[in-house]
Structure 1
């Protein structure tokens, strides 16, 4: 069995991908789980089904408080 090849592939430019990634990493407009899922999609091209299956316990954060 061969691999699937889409007949049409909507693509985004590298600049657009980086802008979206920057917004997800630095913005506060969306919830943290949404931003993590978006970053995984943009960085690793993970299908949404795999991202949706990811448990929150698998995500580690390293937030600094600015003290």
Structure 2
């Protein structure tokens, strides 16, 4: 995984947790600005994160409608 900022390296496991957390907040009706979340990410990391975030959100929506 690429650098998110100059001070630390973030693994895909960390980003997975963050993507799921933000997707869960969005599914609860909280507005989240994707640009604010991914502002310090390089393009590869940003692309991966946004795709994973969208997938998590879709899965949560499907789970909510199935209940």
The answer to whether TM tops 0.5 is no
Give the TM-score band, short-chain normalised.
0.3 to 0.5
Q: Which has the larger Rg?
A: 1
| Structure number having the greater helix percentage | 2
Structure showing the higher strand proportion among its residues: 2
